[in-house]
Structure 1
């Protein structure tokens, strides 16, 4: 990973901003950030955005294993790419256990309402798509560092929908789900269509993958 990188410290106060915005900028410039992304160009781009925005980047990692080591630098915020090697819910939980003081902002090229809800359940404070602008990334970092959240509103799931998700995570097909839950195959199909719409999935296979990765919304 090389030596930890340090950014410039700068308090940025813009005309017309209220006390809350001033506090967010001040807190951010005194905070340390760890950037975790397995694509060097993306990681370097994030580092540049954060440093130019006045945050202090104190470490970089390309895998979940490296991230677990890098939290020794004591970051206030971890900017975490969801799809890094070895990543996922278990890796995030391991990082949180090793360094519970760090706030986490997850970025991903494949955002979905289901993932956003699951990250909230995991205790993540922020979630952004990789299509976010530099300004949006900086604003989200400052919001999270100042004690706020940057998480989209997640859809509520009914008890039956949660049962359907648990069933497909166990490999049950539509007929098996219907028999297990005491409903018709058509009803199972209807529930699956609603789940796909709510969680931003295009297929039952995507729903299953979401469930298998430990991301069944509670």
Structure 2
């Protein structure tokens, strides 16, 4: 695996990737996940979409699923709450978080609730595909940056109990702490895309240049907007230059 590959923790039972339930309220991310799943052989007809906790529960009551790909921040509640509900009502459905949320409280809450994997949206399509394939084969894929934090916590507190559990409803709504540096807040790929945005490249041009899909570019762009607290390319470039993120 490359340095960007996903780490797997202790093996669990194999997981069926089909039928798949995607629980995500962002249309661009939904289409991106469809693309990733298609790339690893999941039939489009076996993929269902829910844009909220309520919609997901309704679908789960109507048909069986092998896996649910769950975002944390949903319009009507927390993905962590949904995962806990799944464990109680539909324990045969495996839940994997795919989200931009990365606070320790949220991560631990999701894993305690029953998630067998925690992946970050900022990763490339190929990386997400590798992670899902690992889960299908019995792995429990955790984004490497998260895995390192978990290992660091365990190493720093040998024999100590895990941090006090955060109620799922609070974990899903808690805001990430303000980063001390916008440079640290943006991933290397996001900084590269921001640089290309400043040069006037379109999403299609960036996708071709970086050999990634246009949907992936759109998702990275949305993450950049969120982290810089802006709503347009012009504002993003202005803030980036203001904080020294662009030469």
- Determine whether 1:79 maps to 2:51: no
Shift of 1:145: 2.1
Query: What is the Cα deviation at residue 63 of structure 1?
Result: 0.2
Structure with more contact order per residue of length (Cα contacts < 8 Å, sep ≥ 6):
2
- Verify: 1:98 aligned to 2:89, yes or no: yes
Q: Is the 8 A contact 1:76 1:145 kept in 2?
A: no
Q: Give the aligned CA root-mean-square deviation in angstroms.
A: 3.1
**2:48 is equivalent to residue 59 of structure 1:** yes
2: CA distance, partners of 1:150 / 1:160: 20
CA distance in 1, matches of 2:164, 2:90: 31
Q: How does 1:31-50 map to 2 (within 5 A)?
A: 31-50=18-37
What residue in structure 1 maps to residue 101 of structure 2? Answer: 110
Note the residue ranges of structure 1 that are not aligned, 5 or more in a row: 1-26, 170-199, 204-218
Q: For the Cα contact (< 8 Å) 1:63–1:84, is it kept in 2?
A: yes
Q: Helix, strand or coil: the match of 2:74?
A: coil
| CA drift at 1:121 | 1.6
Moved more, 61-70 or 27-36: 27-36
Determine the structure 2 residue equivalent to 1:119: 110
1:87-132 CA-to-partner distances (Å, cap 9, x unmatched) read 2432221122222111111011122333322222222111111101
TM-score calculated relative to the size of structure 1: 0.56
Change (3 A) 1:65 1:159: same
Q: Which deviations, in whole Å up to 9, do the C-alpha atoms of 1:17-69 show, x marking residues without a partner? A: xxxxxxxxxx7887321111001121122112212321134311000001111
Question: Secondary structure of the residue that 1:49 maps to in structure 2?
Answer: helix
Query: 1:10 maps to which residue?
Result: none
Distance 2:22 2:164 in 1: 34
Query: Rg: which structure is higher?
Result: 1
C-alpha change, 1:161 and 1:112, in structure 2 (3 Å) is closer
The partner residue of 2:126 within 117, 135, 142 is: 135
- Given the two structures, how large is their TM-score scaled by the length of structure 2? 0.50
Greater shift, 110-119 or 27-36, is seen at 27-36
Task: State the secondary structure of the residue aligned to 2:140.
Answer: coil
